[in-house]
Amino acid sequence: MNIGEVAERSGIPPKTIRYYEDIGLVRPQRSGNGYRAFREMDVHKLAFLGRARALGFSIEDCRTLLSLYEDESRESAQVKAIAEEHLTAIDEKITQLQSMRETLSHLIKSCHGDHRPDCPILSDLAGDPTVVRTVSSLANKAAK
């Protein structure tokens, strides 16, 4: 199976599949003409990766999850631990985004948004505490 068909069947673009090979996530064989020759197993692996990535797992997490998947003597606790850690990270991101959302929507509501230059959004960003004063209550670091 060539890369194009694999891409279609796994939902992973060719460029990304090559990248995954580069970093050792899949190891397709090669045909005589130098083309990658994928087996069913590879398609399966790539679809696994696609789903794990869609859940937001990092590439390194995906690598670990794949190896656990292939390890018959794994303990489900190992998998669960990774998932729980990731869930915690997701929750933190959500919390941070909601805090930004909160502040930003307040600011937007307070801005009349017309042809005049007066703007509480800019005033707040400039540090003027008389307007809404909520941004500085945010953690200093934005989402990475």
Partner DNA sequence: TATTGAGCTTCCAGTCACTGGAAGCCCTAT
Partner DNA sequence: ATAGGGCTTCCAGTGACTGGAAGCTCAATA
Of residues 4 and 127, the one with the C-beta less far from DNA: 4
The full 3-state SS of the chain, as one line of letters, equals CCHHHHHHHHCCCHHHHHHHHHCCCCCCEECCCCCEECCHHHHHHHHHHHHHHHCCCCHHHHHHHHHHHHCCCCCHHHHHHHHHHHHHHHHHHHHHHHHHHHHHHHHHHHCCCCCCCCCHHHHHHCCCCCCCCCHHHCCCCCCC
**Which positions lie near a second copy, rule CB under 8 A?**
11, 44, 47-48, 50-56, 65, 68-69, 71-77, 79-81, 83-84, 86-87, 90-91, 93-94, 97-98, 100-101, 103-105, 107-108, 111-119, 121-122, 124-127, 135-136, 138-143
By a kind-dependent CB cut-off of 5 to 8 A, residue 19 interacts, out of a second copy, DNA, none, with: DNA
Q: Closer to DNA by CB, 11 or 121: give it.
A: 11
Q: Which of 1/121 has CB closer to a second copy? A: 121
32's contact among a second copy, DNA, none, with CB below 5 to 8 A by partner kind, is DNA
Number of Cβ within 10 Å of residue 133's Cβ equals 14
Residue 142 has phi, psi (to 5 degrees) of: -80, 170
Residue 140, binding choice from a second copy, DNA, none, Cβ under 5 to 8 Å by partner class: a second copy
CB of 118 to a second copy, least distance (A): 6
Q: Which is nearer to DNA, 79 or 110 (CB)?
A: 79
